[in-house]
Amino acid sequence: MLDSAFNILSYLGQGLWTTVSIFLAAALFSYIMAFVAGLTRMVKNPIIRGATAFYVEVFRGTSLIVQLFWLYYAVPILFDIQLGSNWIVGVIAIGLNYGAYMSEVVRTSILAVDKGQTEAAIALNLSPVQRMRHIILPQALRLMLPEFGNYSIQILKGTALVSLIGLTDILYYGDIYRSTNLSEGPMAYLMVLIMYFIIALPLIWMSKKGEKIARKGVAS
């Protein structure tokens, strides 16, 4: 039994890089989207603010799997652009989806920084950019850490969907293995789950660590 477990693990290993690379790219993309959308949602210009709100609400209001299929089928036809490989479609779908969720984290963390800080910065004659860059963001970043850790785990879980658009990730190889060795199905999926869990462990650790950092020195 242990033998077959190792056997399956090495077989699933073929999909490891696809999962990890999509996870890293999608995580990076969603962090960027989170800051872009989170910050532009607070500007004065109503058109920019409205556009961002639209993006955030649409991606938060529909599900990732629907967005993934939509992008996969619709974007090449509708806008007549080829997004290159499915890898990019996966990264864009996951990145846009979680970017929308995380933009709310960015926004609420910035709003959570004490108002007195802004007032003091104004009193010290800092420009709005300086205010954000040197006073507000450093304090808000700390508050974002635990949530960013949590969402990173969500992103990892989201990457399992890319096997549905034909990418050869861990789940894809798990499915192949299961369909050729039916009796070993439970072991195959258990190993898939364990592999995801092992990748998630550092993320779990990071979000716990982030929680501690966020709490440090905060009176409440």
Partner 1 sequence: MWSWETFIDAFPFIIKGINVTLGLTFTSYVLALAAGFIWLALESTPLRPFNFVIYWIREFIRSTPPIVQIFFLYFAWPMVPYIGTSFTPFIAAMIALGVHFSTYIAEVYRSGIESVDKGQWEASKALNFSRKDTWMKIVLPQALPPTIPMLGNYLIILFKEVPLAATIGVVGILSLGRTYGANTWSYIEPLTIVALLFLLLSYPSAVLIRKLEDKVNRRFDKKNTKVKVTE
Q: Which is nearer to partner 1, 118 or 185 (CB)?
A: 185
Choose, by CB under 8 A, the member of 57, 114, 133, 215 that binds partner 1. 57
**CA atoms of 29 and 155, how far apart (whole Å):** 11
Q: Which is nearer to partner 1, 121 or 173 (CB)?
A: 173
Q: Which is nearer to partner 1, 136 or 188 (CB)?
A: 188
- Kindly state the helix (H) or strand (E) to which residue 116 belongs, with its residue range: helix 115-123
For 108, phi and psi rounded to 5 degrees? -70, -30
Q: Tokens standing for 75?
A: 């974007």
Q: Which is nearer to partner 1, 132 or 161 (CB)?
A: 161
**CA atoms of 198 and 177, how far apart (whole Å):** 20
Site for partner 1 in 177-206 (CB under 8 A): 178, 182-186, 188-190, 192-193, 196-197, 200, 203-204
Choose, by CB under 8 A, the member of 6, 17, 73, 205 that binds partner 1. 73
**CA atoms of 166 and 14, how far apart (whole Å):** 15
Residue type, 189: Y
Query: Rounded to the nearest whole angstrom, what is the least distance from the CB of residue 11 to partner 1 in the complex?
Result: 16
Enumerate residues 6+ apart whose C-beta is below 8 A from 16: 170, 195
Query: Rounded to the nearest whole angstrom, what is the least distance from the CB of residue 185 to partner 1 in the complex?
Result: 4
Choose, by CB under 8 A, the member of 78, 111, 120, 213 that binds partner 1. 78
**CA atoms of 128 and 140, how far apart (whole Å):** 16
Site track 142-181 with partner 1 (rule: CB under 8 A), x = hit: ----xx--xx-xx-xxxxxx--x------x--xx--x---
**CA atoms of 171 and 220, how far apart (whole Å):** 44
Q: Which is nearer to partner 1, 137 or 161 (CB)?
A: 161
**CA atoms of 112 and 102, how far apart (whole Å):** 15
Choose, by CB under 8 A, the member of 6, 32, 62, 133 that binds partner 1. 62
**CA atoms of 161 and 100, how far apart (whole Å):** 18
Q: Which is nearer to partner 1, 125 or 183 (CB)?
A: 183
How many CB atoms are located within 10 Å of the residue 51 CB? 14
Binding stretches for partner 1 (CB under 8 A): 57-58, 60-67, 69-70, 73-74, 77-78, 101, 146-147, 150-151, 153-154, 156-161, 164, 171, 174-175, 178, 182-186, 188-190, 192-193, 196-197, 200, 203-204, 220
